[in-house]
Homo-oligomer: A and B are copies of this chain.
Amino acid sequence: MRIPFNQPYLTGNEQKYMLRALESRKHCGNHEWGMKCIALMKEMCGFGEVFLTPSGTAALEMGAMLAGLDFGDEVIMPSYTFSSTANAVVLQGAKPVFCEISPDTMNIDPDRIEELITDRTKMILPIDYAGIPCDLKKIKDIAGRHNLTVMVDAAQSFYSQDQDGKFCGSNVPLAAFSFHETKNLGCGEGGALIVNRSDWVERAHFLQEKGTDRRLVLDGVKSKYGWVDKGSSFLLSDILAAVLYAQLEHVEEIVALRKKVIRAYRELYTPYEKAGCLRIPHPPSNVTLNNHAFFVIFDTSEHRQMFLSQLRERQVSAYIGYVPLHSFTKGLQMGYKPDDLPITEDLANRVVRLPLYTDLANEGLGYALDSMRNVLKGLYGS
């Protein structure tokens, strides 16, 4: 048996909807299926406004533009994240300032943010790693006191709920979701920017439509449209929106199936945590998870390597997670040294993301668990 790290889930309606989108001969962005996705997402999660984008990366870029980031501005974010979080900022001429993370969640450590704030800081950009909501309460409190905006890189956290019981993305000015095939809900390549500030919505339409005021023509306000701003083609084809809609309809089923996997992982790894061999995620007790991912932090990077290679021998894929941004080529060019964020560096050297996809609950979970159990026994004894 072979257990991939990831595999897209099909709910059964993707084909039908996709073909209807094709036959409609309206294949570009913001047509029937896009509008249906937007309405459903707003209804399900209480978002202000939703802009479907070609990727989570594009959603981050659109958000960074919308927030008005400019040359020389600074944005505080974890170093333990994907390159897109930083590039969204770099592309505006702004500078990522990297913050340490907490081992309980691998999310930004809110108690280490304030020391990084300078006169140039404009934004805090946390991520919801593994679908675990970042500590938005503390982060928004800091942002409020220093007059900063907050955008959440919520690439992994669609349908998780934060400490206030609010859906991720609904409780912050800007949030960016990904619908890449590796996420809980996917349409190949896709994303969404959530805009909860109503005074930013008109300009968001301009940015999405290549910096034109086409939206005002569609709304009947103007008779011809033209170039009013920077912007890009932040649009998702209606063919992909049709696929996404089929996934959105089944979000509860997807989250429930993944919960089976996470519960089984938690059961297997908890005794090893109690014995001091490794750590597993400890999200705050008052959040609700979308069960996107599960990570294990081993006691040593040697044990991590042994675990990974012995799993691989059993055809079970696991993954090292992010290579921290501050200590890879581009971060070093910015002047960072690995030691500047010792906690991040250490955790990143010991963490593993386990295979997790929706169908694993139906097939392969037993084999994956047995394989892991055997490897762990070899590493730590029974």
Given the known inter-chain contacts A83-B211, A224-B320, A240-B188, please indicate yes or no for A10 contacting B22, CB distance below 8 A.
yes
A22 to B90, CA, bound (A): 34
**Contact partners of A371 in chain B: CB under 8 A:** none
Expressed in whole angstroms, the minimum distance between the Cβ of A33 and any Cβ of chain B is 10
Q: CB-nearest residue of chain B relative to A186?
A: B27
Interface flag for A91 (CB, 8 Å): yes
Q: Is A261 an interface residue (CB 8 A)?
A: no
B84 pairs with A210, CB closer than 8 A: yes
A22 to B19, CA, bound (A): 11
> Is A366 interfacial (CB-CB < 8 Å)?
no
Copies in the complex: 2
Residues of B within 8 A of A227 (CB): 83, 86-87, 323, 325, 328-331
Q: Which residue of B lies closest to A324 (CB)?
A: B226
Inter-chain contact B25/A15, CB cutoff 8 Å: no
- Establish whether residues A237 and B57, one from each chain, have CB atoms under 8 Å apart when the complex forms: no
Given the complex of chains A and B, what is the CA–CA distance between A10 and B228 in angstroms?
A: 34
What's the nearest-Cβ distance from chain B to residue A160, in Å?
Answer: 22
A304-347 CB contact bits vs B (8 Å, 1 = yes)?
A: 00000000000000001001010011110000000000000000
Tell whether A356 is near chain B: CB-to-CB under 8 Å. Answer: no
**Does A283 belong to the interface (CB within 8 Å)?**
no
Chain B minimum-CB-distance residue to A334: B227
Chain B, residue nearest A190 (CB): B237
Contacts of A56 in B (CB 8 A): 233
- Say yes or no: A28-B226 contact (C-beta < 8 A), given A55-B54, A84-B210, A84-B233: no
Smallest CB gap from A79: residue in B: B227
Provide the A47-66 mask, 1 if CB < 8 A to any CB of B, else 0.
Answer: 00000001111100100000
List, in ascending order, chain B residues with CB within 8 A of A188's CB. 27-29, 237-240
Q: Which 10 A-B pairs have the closest CB atoms?
A: A188-B237, A27-B188, A226-B328, A54-B54, A57-B233, A55-B233, A226-B323, A189-B237, A83-B227, A228-B329
